[in-house]
Amino acid sequence: MDATTTLALPHVHFAPAQNWMNDPNGLVHVDGVYHLFFQYNPFGAEHAHMSWGHATSTDLLRWTEHGVAIPCRDDEEIYSGSAVVDTDNTSGLGAPGEAPIVAIYTSAARPSRLQRQSLAYSTDGGRTWQTYAHNPVLDRDSLEFRDPKVFRWTGGDDQYWVMVAVEAADRQVVLYRSDDLISWRLLSTFGPAAAVGGVWECPDLFPLAVDGDPNDVHWVLLVSLYPGGKAGGSATQYFIGTFDGTRFHCDAEPASDHDARWLDHGRDCYAGVTYSGLPDDERTLIAWMSNWDYARVTPAVPSRGAMTIPRRLSLTRGLDGTLRLRQEPRLPAALPAAEAFADIELDTPWLVPAALPEAALVELSVRFERAEGFAARIRHGEAGQDGVVIRVERGVLMVDRTQASGQWHPSLASVEVAPLTGDHRVDLRIVLDRSSIEVFADDGTTVVTELVYTEPGADAMTIEPLRGPALVESLSIVDLTAVGANAAQS
């Protein structure tokens, strides 16, 4: 298998019908519709001619792709950014009686390569876009000033817009404020801190209640970086602290990458940002499901690039008092199990007596008090020779794709290792799709996302105890092939 290989589009992960895609942009929920904009090359499957592609959904699973929303020009590429509904028309860009949707993006100038922040706006619900006549609106005379995420801040009697962006090469987050989305002034900076082995990109800043308690709210700052990720290449770290409308304060100032908290312990979750226009208790993230180490040479499927499953975010407090970010895949609440099993004593490998669909949610609970752990192999292809191995030992989750992705790029022959809090029992939620696997453990506080390029489909699952008997307390397999879809262009 090589970069010219054509596979099928995923079932429940968004991918464009053709061409190149990377970072999610402008995630905004308006009138019951989720808008997903994304870095897109309208002309081919390489990273070039960056524009904003566009897709919409009413459930985050069934997507309709539209034409290019904000196209590149001869003198400008359209890099990453965000979108907000300007409810009070503070920008003055709205039509009478209608709030505009305002996109704030990085304008990458040609040939100077300067990166500045610019606006586009829509007065018809996101269907068509106009470029602001007086762009750029914020210029630091920098080659590395990018990825603005904008939100509305309300504190006391004061309200204004806050922009969180980065000086990427300086490993620094910069915060600005504006009353009208057009004129901006500097508030503060954050960083460098924690993981600094690569440039910082795609920041996001938002509040979350701890275990749903509205009286215990902390702020989360996401920062992606490349290289320097925990598993190699691209990754996203997060900080937990407070925001007072001017400055973000980290609860425990991390000194090095050893102190970094990782959004995902796999290699293929990058540039994740959250939706505006949703309540904080529905804070939802989508990330690019790839890694800059090999994104340019992955097979066409038939496009190059896909998004992670949308994930609801929350904060939870562990028994030791430590706060952790929790991620929950956004799937329908009532999914009937295609197959379900319970109380299976394992002392030898057990083959699940059911064929796995091409897209599936596998929920697995295993107790291994009399064993060192267990391994679950998900096999692919007609011969069942390849497979992803999920291995759990006390305090450790491992996802091994060395036999599941061919030899088309050496970084795909990898084993990812993530921490677990439990010693004798583990609950896993595994989202399988064409070309990917996402493993949610420890109630979503440990996640591993991996691209898996094999023959289409998974044909079997084997569970094996490690050095002693183990008990499969429950196992359910839900067929997701009909739940989501990438729809035709409109």
**Residue positions annotated with a catalytic role:** 23
**CA gyration radius, the chain:** 22
Left, alpha or beta for 134 (phi > 0: left; psi -120 to 50: alpha)? alpha
Burial profile 68-96: b = 16 or more Cβ within 10 angstroms, e = fewer: bbbbbeeebbbbbbbbbbbeebbbebbee
How would you class 342 by CB atoms within 10 Å of its CB: exposed for 0-12, middle for 13-18, buried for 19 or more? exposed
Most distant CA pair in the chain, distance: 71
The gap between the terminal CA atoms of the chain, to the nearest Å, is: 32
Per-residue DSSP letter, 211: T
Nearest-angstrom CA–CA distance, 399 and 437: 10
The secondary structure of residue 183, as a DSSP letter, is S
- Return d(Cα 76, Cα 361) in angstroms, integer: 42
Measure the CA–CA gap between 68 and 22, rounded to whole angstroms: 14
From CA 56, how far away is CA 29, in angstroms rounded? 10
d(CA 138, CA 427): 47
Q: What is residue 311's three-state secondary structure?
A: strand
- How far apart CA 10 and CA 426 sit, in angstroms, is 28
Number of other residues whose CB lies within 10 A of the CB of residue 157: 5
- Distance of alpha carbon 170 from alpha carbon 39, whole angstroms: 23
Which tokens sit at 100? 């505009």
289-315 burial, b if ≥16 CB within 10 A, otherwise e?
bbbbbbbeebbbbbbbbbbbbbbbbbb
Phi, psi of 443 (to 5 degrees): 55, 35
Q: Are the beta carbons of 351 and 462 closer than 8 angstroms?
A: yes
